[in-house]
Amino acid sequence: MKRIAIDMDDVIADATQKFCDMYEAEFGIRIAKHDFLGKEFHEVVPTEHQKFVYEYPFRKGFFQDLKVIPHAQEVMLRLSKKYEIFIVSAAMEFPLSLSEKYQWMSEHFPFISWHHIVFCGSKSIIKADYLIDDRIKNLKNFDGKAIVFTAPHNLKDEYESFTRVNSWVEIEKMFL
């Protein structure tokens, strides 16, 4: 059985939307995803707001109530019949996220057992056939087939050496 490693933030959990929502709640300015295509969220806020935005994912609760990326649940359930699925999140960067991500997985992906969840720092330690991720730093150190999952920040040339998928519907077409 081939093994697919799947990232959490901006692949199955909508972290980018949470940045938009927290920023609007704090500063009263609505930034939509289509406002920062090809850029990081902090690049489109005023310089004096950047330090607050950097610190959002270190706040308690940031990862607790992220929305599920559309169709991730049903497609992953179908994938899990034919592939060995591992959820692999670089959670170690945000210490408070560890228990929140664990709870989030139990709530939204109860069919993925704790045996198949990995919280790491560097993903160079991961042994899998495929990695679906939105971050180049994770994809470029991966031995197997690296697949970039489209997120607002990753619409950049440097990602073009990887196969790109734009949605979970496209993941299903690729694998099933």
39-48: long-range contacts (C-beta < 8 A, 24 or more apart)?
39/152, 39/153, 40/153, 41/16, 41/152, 41/153
Contact between 131 and a copy of itself by CB under 8 A: the answer reads no
* Residue 36 makes contact with a copy of itself by CB under 8 A: no
55 contributes a contact to a copy of itself by CB under 8 A: no
Tokens of 73: 């649940």
Q: Which is nearer to a copy of itself, 119 or 175 (CB)?
A: 119
Q: What is the DSSP string of 70-113?
A: TTHHHHHHHHHHHSEEEEEE-GGGSTTHHHHHHHHHHHH-TTS-
Q: Binding segment for a copy of itself among 8-16, 34-42, 48-56, 95-103 (CB under 8 A)? A: 95-103
24, 43, 143, 158: which one contacts a copy of itself (CB under 8 A)? 143
Decide: is 108 part of the binding site for a copy of itself (CB under 8 A): no
- Is 10 one of the annotated active-site residues of the chain? no
Binders of a copy of itself: how many residues, by CB under 8 A? Answer: 28
**How many whole angstroms from its chain centre is CA 28?**
26
14 is catalytic: no
Integer angstrom CA distances of residue 66 from 41, 57, 116, 172: 16, 11, 20, 22
Residues ≥6 apart with Cβ < 8 Å to 106: none
CA angle 151, 62, 152 (to 5 degrees): 10
Of 29-37, 91-99, 149-157, 166-174: span binding a copy of itself (CB under 8 A): 91-99
Q: x/- binding map, residues 109-128, to a copy of itself, per CB under 8 A?
A: ----xxxxxxxxxx-xxxxx
Closer by beta carbon to a copy of itself, 122 or else 161: 122
> Which residues are known catalytic residues?
7, 9
Site residues (vs a copy of itself, CB under 8 A): 3, 5, 86, 88, 91-93, 95-96, 98-99, 102, 113-122, 124-128, 143
